[in-house]
Amino acid sequence: MNQNHFLDLFFNPKSVAIVGASRHRNTANYWLMANLLNLKYAGNIYPVNPNAAEILGLKCYPSVREIEGEVDLAAISVPAPLTLGVVKDCIAKHVKGIVIIAGGFSETGGRGQSLQEEIKRLLKENGIRCIGPNSLSPINSANNFIIGFGAAYKLPKGRLSFIFQSGLYQPRLDYLLNDMHINISKLIDLGNKMDVNETDALEYLKDDPETEVIAVHMESIAGDARRFFQLLKEITPKKPVIVLKSGRTPAGAKAASSHTGAIIKASDVVFDTALKQAGAIRVQGLDEFFDLAKVFEYYQPLKGNRIAIASFSGGEGVITTDFCYLNGLTLAQPSEESMKVLRTIMPPWEIPVNPYDTGVANQFVSTDTVSVYVDTLSNDPNVDCLAIQVGGPQTLITVGSQATLDRWTEYYIKAVQKGKRLVIWPLDPRNVKDMKDTLESHRIPVYPSAERAVRALGALYRYQTIKERV
Amino acid sequence: MNQNHFLDLFFNPKSVAIVGASRHRNTANYWLMANLLNLKYAGNIYPVNPNAAEILGLKCYPSVREIEGEVDLAAISVPAPLTLGVVKDCIAKHVKGIVIIAGGFSETGGRGQSLQEEIKRLLKENGIRCIGPNSLSPINSANNFIIGFGAAYKLPKGRLSFIFQSGLYQPRLDYLLNDMHINISKLIDLGNKMDVNETDALEYLKDDPETEVIAVHMESIAGDARRFFQLLKEITPKKPVIVLKSGRTPAGAKAASSHTGAIIKASDVVFDTALKQAGAIRVQGLDEFFDLAKVFEYYQPLKGNRIAIASFSGGEGVITTDFCYLNGLTLAQPSEESMKVLRTIMPPWEIPVNPYDTGVANQFVSTDTVSVYVDTLSNDPNVDCLAIQVGGPQTLITVGSQATLDRWTEYYIKAVQKGKRLVIWPLDPRNVKDMKDTLESHRIPVYPSAERAVRALGALYRYQTIKERV
């Protein structure tokens, strides 16, 4: 919440009109209202649809003008050509803010473009702020307010806020809310950025005490670029900002312009340099975007970059070491005290303790090597973080049972409690759901591969160096 | 099979002694023998273990010397210090080839190093070739011959052969053979490369008619580097060669030397340039290694680089377009004929047909847009390949049922039959196993993300340009 900013109205409306609300469960518009009811959003909800008297037990209005109570926010989900009429109704009703969901505006050029300009002019004249068009916004987990096309039965509350340029997250809504295990504070989808843009969103989140991490997907800067980077510079020493900027290649830029009407003015090299100078963490694709969002949501930054690695094969240890180096992490040298213990989990000859090869060790050592390894290094002041590979019952016969996995989990949790940053990757993607659910319920992030696990830790350390630099 | 090469003995032995065979199911050594029996390997199997009279129904010998019949190959899985004695037995028995499985040799320096040198000298004097130590080799799907520590109940037969420097694949053996859906011809794990090295393996596979694609994991070049790159140059115009060279950073190189005794002489930049000149396709990590292995095993190279993309959000389409560009692919421009059909799956305004946003289209079009899209472009001479996102029942409400997924699959198969290269990525990783199993049983590769899907296609095209260059 940031009551001094105009966007607060969009995240914390006391009342909302859903224009285009539907009774039909198999339509996207049905969920605009159903979600608010299912989640027990406490504000007033006014469905607007000239063809219904009641929707989901609430009185339905033929037009926004007919609503008796005050309307803080109108979410308009009617086809583009009908939107202008609804906007005029909203003006007449003195609605305070508007979200336009439909596409078919500036991104199409021609008629859509002029329609958008007409709406923009009208709203400006009447001092009404607007998100969109072509946007599904916002989500606020604090008050269970959501405008979304997919079913949402819970909003996992956390300290990370998302800014999207488009409904990219929308087909993943169910995954995001239920199984991605990234807890969120707020989400705003900006769409065509006719009025509200990335700078407004950053300004709001900058002073929002419920937001400690920001992840931004964008295709263009619609507002004042100088102000955007200035804001980033002010935010990044306090809150990590992850940026996925797409349309970074000529082909991508062209696609972006048809997608959200994004006009990409500067070259990507210029953008990239400016982002770096502003202390933002740039990512290249969606995998990295959500990977980093998770690690920053789970963990505070890494003060040191000394990592310990354990994998089921020495070969994977070497590959992982390469990735550590490329991500700014360095192999930890365990203390002499640790070494005394670690020597008890060696085969008849000495293998490296870092990266540690549990596959070889398990052939000769009857102790549970993984538990000893993690337990020992979780007490070692020379170790800042760990990346550990886990396997399920289907893997190496030496890995064993559910009891083993449970014991490992205990040691992982203890390591995190002792201040280590721990990341896990499984041997293979089969049957990992239970393990992932358990570990992530304890706020230990699981990544599909060593490469992605150490990339996340590397970002956690890189951010610390950014903080210190500023 | 390449009968003129000495390595043929290792892939096609008529008899094998398993030294260190075990009756105990919970030991790795048990599976060395059990796999051969379960897979009905047709050669003679001689278990060797002084503490057993019979193992899995076969007569067990106290030493290799006592075996009555001829022994083509001895796979030695006893601890390093006992290996020298067994090697002497093998020499006395006139065994033709040896695989040494144990670690604890040159990679440990000191005593292990001198032990390895002693064995090397003895074998050379007696003209016996040897894979290892520190290796689990080989696998040949043609005759169901496998030396491996994990349970193997089937060897999926295909046209791809692997060369590994280490048992990296070993903890993943069950996954590789059962669920990775990469069919293999042969696999060789070279370990410490005391004798047989990467050059020997390449030489063999070069003229092996059962091998059409080669994937190499290596930490060092143990043999003659000039010969290695010369061989690559000869192979790559005929067979794609994927190379994962680890130990490419200073930290990784150090880890590699403790792992397989790998001595990394040249800088990675030099290695990288030489690989490129030799026409090999270098990958950076295990994800990419197996991703590319799969695409090359499934598909012939791509003659053109024009791609069509369909995703559930325009935002993801833009991101995917960026990755296409970065991977050397260009957005296809559908023919006028295609455009006539594609206009029927547009919302009330025109959206781009490439990348195509099914999420927006599905809000307005009641036709099954994905089927129309794939069907139309599979007939379009302007399109070489397609990357299509699929969703399960849990995703967008507009995606729908199993029947939809089944219908899509039919169109995907048809597109591939018409010569298009098609790759699929799911919206999220939940419940994709059935879909993946089905599609991959039809030889349509499924990747976890758009980024990885188009990276695989990009490599398929890059290889074609390599072929043409030579």
What CA dihedral angle connects B272, B275, B279 and B284, to 10 degrees?
-60
Q: Find chain B residues with C-beta within 8 A of A433's C-beta.
A: 430
Residue A93, burial from CB neighbour count under 10 angstroms (0-12, 13-18, 19+): middle
Q: Within 13 Å and on the Cβ side, how many CA atoms surround A380?
A: 27
Is the separation of the CB atoms in B217 and B165 below 8 Å? yes
The alpha-carbon gap from B388 to the nearest alpha carbon of chain A, in Å, equals 15
Q: Are B246 and A315 in contact (CB under 8 A)?
A: yes
Name the residue with tokens 């300009």. A117
Q: What is the pLDDT of residue B165?
A: 93
As separate numbers, helices (DSSP H) first and strands (DSSP E) second, chain A gives: 17, 19
- The mean pLDDT value of chain B amounts to 93
Please tell me the number of Cα atoms within 13 Å of A292 on its side-chain side.
28
Secondary structure element (H or E) that encloses residue B385, with its range: strand B385-390
Amino acid symbol at B188: I
A470 falls in which pLDDT band (50, 70, 90)?
A: low
Q: Catalogue the E-assigned strands of A271-417.
A: 281-283, 306-311, 330-331, 356-357, 385-390
Question: A234, A233, A295: which is closest to A423 by C-alpha?
Answer: A295
Q: Considering only CB atoms, which chain B residues are within 8 Å of A357?
A: 259
Taking the mean position of all CA atoms in its chain, how far away is CA A455? 16
Q: How far apart are CA A11 and CA A73, in angstroms?
A: 10
| Chain A positions in Cβ-Cβ contact with residue B28 (cut-off 8 Å) | 363, 397-398
The SS3 of residue B465 is: helix
Distance CA A158, CA A210 (A): 8
The reported pLDDT for the residue numbered B396 is: 46
User: Is pLDDT of A287 > 80?
Assistant: yes
Hey, what are A215's tokens?
Answer: 């992840």
Please state, rounded to an integer, the average pLDDT across all residues of chain A: 93
Give the pLDDT of residue A366.
Answer: 85
Contact A430, A315 (CB under 8 A): no
Q: Are strands A73-76 and A44-48 parallel, antiparallel or unpaired?
A: unpaired
Comparing A131-140, A430-439, B27-36, B417-426, the range with the smallest average pLDDT is: A430-439
- Residue A63 burial (CB count, 10 A): 18
CB contact under 8 A, B170 and A313: yes
- Are B449 and A249 in contact (CB < 8 Å)? no
Residue contact A251–B330, C-beta within 8 A: yes
Rounded Cα distance, A356 and A373, in Å: 9
Contact A357 B31 (CB under 8 A): no
Q: Which amino acid is at B209?
A: P
In order of B59, B337, B355, B373, B444, the CA distances from B380 in angstroms are 63, 8, 16, 11, 19
pLDDT tens per residue, range B436-469: 999 999 999 999 999 999 999 999 999 999 988 8
Interface test with B, best of A290, A322, A330 (most B CBs within 10 A): A322
Secondary structure class of B142 (helix, strand, coil)? coil
Three-state secondary-structure class, residue B323: helix
Q: Nearest CA to B387 among B300, B307, B289, B301?
A: B307
Alpha helices in B94-222 (DSSP H): 110-125, 173-178, 198-206
Could you read off the pLDDT tens digit of each residue along chain B, which spans 470 residues? 888 999 999 999 999 999 999 999 888 899 999 999 999 999 999 999 999 999 999 999 999 999 999 999 999 999 999 999 999 999 999 999 999 999 889 888 888 999 999 999 999 999 999 999 999 999 999 999 999 988 899 999 999 999 999 888 988 888 999 999 999 999 999 999 999 999 999 999 999 999 999 999 999 999 899 999 999 999 999 999 999 999 999 999 999 888 877 777 678 999 999 999 999 999 999 999 999 999 999 999 999 999 999 999 999 999 999 999 999 999 999 999 999 999 999 988 888 999 999 988 888 888 889 999 999 999 999 999 999 998 754 444 444 577 888 889 999 999 999 999 999 999 988 878 888 999 999 999 999 999 999 999 999 999 999 988 86
Give contacts of A112 with chain B, Cβ < 8 Å.
349
pTM confidence score: 0.96
Between helix B80-93 and helix B110-125 the angle, nearest 10°, is 0
Residue A397: which pLDDT band, with cuts at 50, 70 and 90? very low
C-alpha to C-alpha distances, B232 to B226, B239, B282, nearest whole angstrom = 10, 10, 12
For residue A238, the SS3 value is coil
Cβ neighbours of residue A3 closer than 8 Å, sequence gap 6 or more: none
- Give the separation between CA B374 and CA B309, rounded to whole angstroms: 10
**Do B103 and A347 make contact, defined as CB atoms within 8 angstroms?**
yes
How is residue B347 written in tokens? 């919302």
Find tokens 């140059």 and name the residue. Answer: B233
- The SS3 of residue B383 is coil
Q: Find where tokens 């006539």 sit.
A: B340
Determine, for residues A319 and B250 on separate chains, whether the beta-carbon distance falls below 8 Å. no
On whether the CB atoms of residues A355 and A309 are closer than 8 A, the answer is yes
What is the structure's pLDDT at A400?
A: 56
Distance CA B388, CA A6 (A): 40
Q: What is the pLDDT of residue B455?
A: 98
Residues with Cβ within 8 Å of A171's Cβ and at least 6 positions away in sequence, in order, are A150, B312, B313, B359, B391, B395, B396, B427
Q: What's residue B194's pLDDT?
A: 96
Contacts of A179 in chain B (CB under 8 A): 428, 430
Residue B310 is inside which H or E element, if any? Answer: strand B306-311
Q: Could you report the per-residue pLDDT of A323-381, keeping only the tens digit for each?
A: 999 999 999 999 999 999 999 999 888 889 999 999 888 888 888 899 999 999 999 99
CB contact under 8 A, B316 and A168: yes
Tokens of A230: 């200035």
At A392 the pLDDT is 58
Closest CA to B187 of B162, B158, B168: B162
